[in-house]
Amino acid sequence: MLFILAGLTIFIAVLSIVAASTGHAAQTLDLEDVLEKAVKNAHEVQMSDIDIRISRSVKKEARSVYYPSLGARWNSGYVKDLTDGTAQVTSVGDMILVENTMFQNALSVGLAYDLYDFGARGKRVFIADRDVDLRKTTYRQSVRNIKLKVLGIYSDLLLAWKELAAKRELLGIYRELSATRERLFAAGKTARIETVNDALKVVKTLDEIDEIMLRAKELLHELSVCTGESYAIEQLEVRDLSEEKEEPETFRADLSPEWKIYELAIEKKKAEIDALERERYPRFALNSNYTWYGQDLNRFNASVEDVRSRNFFVGFSVTMSLFDGFKSIARIEKARLEMERLKVEKEKKVTEFQSRQAKLSDAARLYGFEMKNRQEMLAKTEEKLSMVGRLREQEIAGYRDLLIEKIELVNRRLELSKVHIAKISAVRELKLLTEEMH
C-alpha cells in the first residue's frame, strides 16, 4: 500500500513539474519599459552611434594636416656599367647614370610641413568637426524616430487589447441574449427569424474576436522586432497609457533634429566651397631631407658597412595649379548648387513638420472635446441601465431589455477607451516632436 502511495506521489509531482515547465510566464507590457528596450535594440540607433565614432576618427585624420609629416626610405641596388668605365656620371631629369659597376645603399629621412595655404586646411577641419555634430544630431533623431514608431505600435496594440476585452464581454451577453430568444421561441412568443439573427450575432462576434487576435499578433510581432523580445498573446497584459497632464510646449522648428541636421549640412557645404576656392591659391611648404649613402665595387656587405652621412637638404616650395581644365570651377559650382538644394529641402522639411505638429495639436484638442461627449453618453447609458435594472426587479421590463442595455454600455465604454487612447497618443507624439535639443 505504501509503495502505491509513494508511486502516486511521485507521479503527481512529475506532472506538476511538467505543467510548470510548459506554462508561459505572464507578461506585462508598459510603454516606458518597451521604449527603453526598443532604443537599446534598435539597429538604426546602434548604427548612428557607430557613425559618431567614425566621424570622430575622421576628425582626427583631418587635424593631422597641422602636424609635419616624417618619413624614411631605404634603397639597395646593383648597377652594371655597360660601357666598361668609359662613360662619366650623367643626370637626366630624376635619373642619375653612374660610371662604374657597384653595389649601392641609401637611407633617406625626410620632413615636410605645409606652412600656409590661405585657410584651406582650417576649412577641411571645420567640415570634419561639423560632421561630428551632424552625426550626434542624427543619433538623437534615430532615438526619437524609434520612440515614435513604438508609440504608434503600442497605441494600436492597446486599442486592439481593449477591443478584444470588449468583444469577449459582448460574446457572453450575446450568448445569453440568444438563449433568451430561444426560450421565447420555444414558448411561441417570438419569430424564428429573430432567433436566427441573435445566433448570427454570436457567430459574428466570434469572427471579430479572431480578427482582433490576428491583428494583435501582427502588432506583437512588429513590437518584438523593435525590442528583440518574444511575446505570447495568451499570457499578456497591456497597461494603459499614462495620462499626459502637461500641455506640450509650442513647436519650434529650429529645435528639431531635422532643422539642426540641415543647418549643419549647409555649414559643411559652405565650408567646402570656401576650401575649394582657397585651394586654388598658392600653397607654401617646407621640406628637408637627410641622406646616408654607401657603395662598394665588389661586395654587397661592404656597401652596407660603407653607409655614412652624405648630405642634408632644406628647401621652401610654392605650389599652385595654373590650369586644371576648369575642374576646380566646376567643383565649386556643383557645391553651390548642392547648398541651394539643401536650403530648399530644409524649408520643405520644416513645412512638413509644422503641418504635422498642427494636425497633432488639433487632434489632441478635438479628442479632448470628444472625450467629454463620450463620458456624458456613458454616464447616461449607465443611468439607463440602472433604470432598466430596477424595472426588471419590478417585472416591468424583461431580461432581454436588460441585456440590450448591457451591450450598449460595453460599446460606449469601448468608444470612450478608443478616444482616450487616441488623445494620449497624440499628446505624447506631440511632446516627442517638440523636445528641445540638448
Assign 272 to helix, strand or coil.
Answer: helix
Assign 326 to helix, strand or coil.
Answer: coil
The pLDDT value recorded for residue 389 is: 65
Read off the C-alpha cell for 143: 532615438
- Mean pLDDT, the chain, rounded, equals 83
**DSSP assignments along 194-208, one per residue:** HHHHHHHHHHHHHHH
Domain coordinates of the chain in residue numbers?
Answer: 27-67+117-282+320-433
The pLDDT value recorded for residue 124 is: 93
Pairing of strands 95-97, 90-92: antiparallel
Per-residue pLDDT of 74-124, as tens digits, reads 999 888 888 876 777 776 766 777 777 888 999 999 999 999 999 999 999
The pLDDT value recorded for residue 23 is: 46
Between 57-66, 110-119, 171-180, 368-377, the lowest mean confidence (pLDDT) is in 368-377
pLDDT mean over 226-235: 86
Between 38-47, 81-90, 310-319, the lowest mean confidence (pLDDT) is in 81-90
CA 126 to each of CA 49, 285, 300, 332: distance values in angstroms, whole numbers, following the listed order: 21, 21, 51, 17
DSSP state of 65: G
User: In the structure, what pLDDT confidence band is assigned to residue 392 with cuts at 50, 70 and 90?
Assistant: low
The pLDDT value recorded for residue 313 is: 93
The pLDDT value recorded for residue 263 is: 93
C-alpha 285: how far from its chain's center? 45
Read off the C-alpha cell for 254: 529650429
Read off the C-alpha cell for 218: 501582427
Q: Give me the percent of the chain exceeding a pLDDT of 70.
A: 85
Distance CA 307, CA 294 (A): 4
Whether 260 contacts 437, CB under 8 Å: yes
Whether 208 contacts 201, CB under 8 Å: no
The pLDDT value recorded for residue 12 is: 40
The answer to whether residue 3 scores a pLDDT higher than 60 is: no
The answer to whether residue 173 scores a pLDDT higher than 80 is: yes
Ramachandran bin of 119, using left for φ above 0, alpha for ψ from -120 to 50, beta for the remaining angles: left
Q: HSE of 268 in the Cβ direction (CA atoms, 13 Å)? A: 17
User: In the structure, what pLDDT confidence band is assigned to residue 6 with cuts at 50, 70 and 90?
Assistant: very low
The pLDDT value recorded for residue 186 is: 74
Read off the C-alpha cell for 289: 631631407
For the stretch 416-419, contacts whose Cβ atoms lie closer than 8 Å and that sit 24 or more positions apart, written own/partner, are: 416/371, 416/374, 416/375, 416/378, 417/159, 417/162, 417/166, 418/159, 418/162, 419/367, 419/370, 419/371, 419/374
Whether 307 contacts 292, CB under 8 Å: yes
At the topology level, CATH places domain 27-67+117-282+320-433 in Outer membrane efflux proteins (OEP) (1.20.1600)
The answer to whether residue 14 scores a pLDDT higher than 60 is: no
The pLDDT value recorded for residue 388 is: 64
Q: Which residues, 6 or more positions from 106, have their beta carbon under 8 angstroms from its beta carbon?
A: 74, 75, 291, 292, 293, 294, 307, 310
Per-residue pLDDT of 123-151, as tens digits, reads 999 999 999 999 999 999 999 999 999 99
Whether 280 contacts 321, CB under 8 Å: yes
Pick 398 or 37 by higher pLDDT: 37
Q: Which residues pair with 82 in a beta bridge?
A: none
The answer to whether residue 227 scores a pLDDT higher than 80 is: yes
Between 53-57, 190-194, 262-266, the lowest mean confidence (pLDDT) is in 190-194
Distance CA 300, CA 298 (A): 7
The answer to whether residue 22 scores a pLDDT higher than 60 is: no
Residue 127 CB neighbour total at 10 angstroms: 20
